[in-house]
C-alpha cells in the first residue's frame, strides 16, 4: 500500500505544480509602446527556487495577438532576433529578460497600451498553466 501511494505520488501532477509554485518573478515591466509601434516587449527576472528543473513555454497574452520569447543577439555590430521555443531553468537557476537581450515579444496589441496598465502573460510551466503580470512603464524599474 505504501509503495502504491509512492507510485501514485510520482504519477500525480502535484510535484509539477509544486515546482512551478517556486518560480520567483521580479522586476517585471512592459515597455510602453511608442505611438505607431505595433508591439513591445516584457522584461523580468525569473528564478527557479524549486528543486526540480522547469521548462516554460507556450506564451500568450489576452492583450496581444502574438507573444514570443526572443533573444536579441549581437553578431558583430548586427542585432539579430532569435526565437526561443522555451525557457529552461535548472533548480536554483535564473534568467534575466532585459532590453537588448532575452525578452518576451508582445505583438499586435488589441488596444492601445499606456503606462499604468498591467499586462498579464500566460504560459505553461512543466505543462501546468502559469501566469505573470507586469506593469506598463516608460522606463525600466530602478535597479535595487
Partner 1 sequence: MTSAPKSSSVTALFVLVGFIAVSAGLIFAATRVPEQPAIPGLLWPDPPVLSSFSLQGSDGARIDQDRLKGRWTLLFFGFTNCPDVCPTTLAVLKQVAAQLAEDPLFKRQGQVLFISLDPERDTPEQMGKYVHYFNPGFLAATGDGPALDAVTVPLGVIRAKVADASGGYTIDHTASIFLIDPQLRVLGKFGMPHTATAISDGFRAISNFGASR
Report the interface residues with partner 1, using CB under 8 A. 31, 33-41, 65-66, 68, 70, 72, 74-75, 77-81, 83, 99-100, 103, 105-107, 138-139
Of the candidates 144, 115, 142, 119, the one whose C-alpha atom is nearest the C-alpha of residue 131 is 119
Quote the least distance from Cβ 63 to partner 1, whole Å: 14
Closest to partner 1 by CB, 51 or 138 = 138
How far is the CA of 112 from the CAs of 37, 65, 84, 136, in angstroms? Answer: 10, 13, 27, 11
| Closer residue to partner 1, CB minimum distance, 13 or 99 | 99
Tell me whether residue 43 or residue 125 sits nearer to partner 1 (CB atom): 43
Instruction: Using the structure block, give the residue that is written with the C-alpha cell 488589441.
Output: 110
143 phi, psi to nearest 5 deg: -65, 140
Amino acid at each position: 500500500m505504501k509503495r502504491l501511494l509512492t507510485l501514485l505520488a510520482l504519477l500525480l501532477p502535484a510535484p509539477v505544480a509544486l515546482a512551478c509554485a517556486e518560480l520567483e518573478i521580479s522586476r517585471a515591466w512592459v515597455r510602453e509602446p511608442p505611438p505607431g509601434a505595433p508591439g513591445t516587449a516584457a522584461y523580468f527576472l525569473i528564478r527557479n527556487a524549486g528543486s526540480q528543473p522547469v521548462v516554460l513555454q507556450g506564451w500568450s497574452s489576452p492583450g496581444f495577438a502574438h507573444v514570443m520569447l526572443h533573444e536579441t543577439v549581437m553578431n558583430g555590430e548586427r542585432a539579430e532576433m532569435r526565437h526561443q521555443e522555451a525557457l529552461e531553468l535548472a533548480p536554483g537557476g535564473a534568467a534575466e529578460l532585459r532590453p537588448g537581450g532575452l525578452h518576451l515579444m508582445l505583438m499586435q496589441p488589441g488596444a492601445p497600451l499606456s503606462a499604468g496598465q498591467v499586462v498579464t502573460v500566460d504560459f505553461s510551466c512543466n505543462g501546468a498553466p502559469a501566469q505573470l503580470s507586469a506593469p506598463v512603464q516608460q522606463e525600466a524599474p530602478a535597479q535595487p
